[in-house]
Amino acid sequence: MARPNSKLPDRSVQISCSRCRTQLLRYRKGGNGALVKCFIERITEDNTQEPGICPGCGSQFGRQTLIRGVPALKMVGGKVRVK
């Protein structure tokens, strides 16, 4: 499979915890669909100490994985809000 496009998308979104509303990430998202995965190279601002763990409430919102050979966070359904 092909790698994700190296040119960053124009649209930037804020990702926050759906439980405690703590801002987690600022991410350059491409496409119109739901947020299923976040490629690490597209994260512009990271407010977490541990990848995939909310610093406010400690709940796990994502898992580290490789998608198409590129490091990414696979989101757990319903754990994050995108604005």
Output the DSSP codes for 36-51.
-EEEGGGEEEE--SST
Model pLDDT for residues 13-69, shown as the tens digit of each residue: 999 999 999 999 999 999 999 999 999 999 999 999 999 999 999 999 999 999 999
- Residue-range domain boundaries for the chain: 12-43+50-82
In angstroms, the CA 18 to CA 12 distance is 19
Q: pLDDT band at 7, cuts 50/70/90? A: confident
Q: What is the pTM of this model?
A: 0.89
